[in-house]
Amino acid sequence: MDAFKRSTPWISADLSGSAAESAPLSARPSTGEPAAPRLAAAPASAGRAQAGQTSGPLDVSEVTIEGHAQDIVLRLYRPQGANNLPVLLYFHGGGFVRGTLDDADAASRFFAERLPALVVSVGYSLAPQFPFPAAPEDAHRAAQWVLMRARAFGGSTKRIVAAGHDAGGQIANVLAFIGRDRGDVRLAAQALFAPMLDPSLTRLGDEARLASDISASECAACYRAYLPEASQRMHPYAAPLESSRLAGLPPTFIVTAQNDVLHIEAEKYAGRLIEAGVRTHVVRYPSVSHAQIGAHPEALAEAVRFFRCCFDAGTPC
């Protein structure tokens, strides 16, 4: 099913809060319904400060497509009148069990305006009702829709990238795995914001020492809902950090937050990507929490610069 709905205006969120100074890391960094990791609500008037000139207004519309287990909604953000745009698939956070397209609105608008790009924000299926592999398969269905239909919305299928926060960071990354393995979706680059990468939770930071806004118990509850079978927790599409096949993934930007128990596993993953020959850029932002990093203006602006580098130099960037 591919039902197109009329364009709908959405209220922006504000990214103009104070930004912490970013700290680039070395190439090999050191080491009922469950409660999802807490995500910051995006304040009003998003994406209009601290990243240079803004572009014109956006057309925002929604499309319903057939997903893996149910129909899913794609929200499209397109700079008015623009064509031949790169396409960015964006995946919201929420620990695989919560989160909505509205949660992704701030980042989606930022990328649409500043890259600029046709942003396709994906309303993927959530656990526990739809456990693994529904979410990554929904991501793949969305990417296939992009290949078939993005030109009608001003997108260029020659420049497709992915980004996501929290669980969405894993889903964006797993889309790169699936596209590589099935040979149909080729991502030019990916940006992973505080991704959840390790269901074993054996590489977490110390919650108290880091003053983390999410806990190991919250993450464990999310993974139990998303991966109800123990055997799933070692599948490379559910546990990217455990994968022995990282070669052939696209250039990757990994964003971590100092006040986040997940920053150690994400930086470990960056090191493994580098060892596998994947061009990787990793930055840790001090005095920033897990919830805040998904809409952090400096991190989003750095992702824009990373994607532009990849586009300018071709793939790999």
How large is the average pLDDT for residues 110-127? 98
Cβ atoms 106, 12 nearer than 8 A: yes
pLDDT score for 307: 98
**Predicted confidence (pLDDT) at residue 82 exceeds the cutoff of 80:** yes
Q: Which residue has the higher pLDDT, 41 or 119?
A: 119
pLDDT score for 32: 46
> At residue 192, what are phi and psi to the nearest 5 degrees?
-115, 115
pLDDT category at 66 given cuts 50, 70, 90 is very high
pLDDT score for 306: 98
Of 28-42, 105-119, 130-144, 216-230, least confident by mean pLDDT is 28-42
> Whats the size of the chain, residue-wise?
317
Q: Which CATH class is domain 2-9+20-313?
A: alpha beta
Half-sphere exposure at residue 297, Cβ-oriented, CA atoms within 13 angstroms: 17
Cβ atoms 114, 163 nearer than 8 A: no
pLDDT score for 106: 97
Q: pTM of this prediction?
A: 0.84
pLDDT category at 53 given cuts 50, 70, 90 is very low
What is the rounded end-to-end Cα distance, in angstroms, of the chain?
Answer: 35
Determine the Cα–Cα distance for residues 233 and 170; give it in Å rounded to an integer: 13
How large is the average pLDDT for residues 176-203? 98
How large is the average pLDDT for residues 288-308? 98
Of 19-33, 168-182, 206-220, 256-270, least confident by mean pLDDT is 19-33
**Strand ranges (DSSP E) for 92-244?**
118-123, 155-165, 189-193
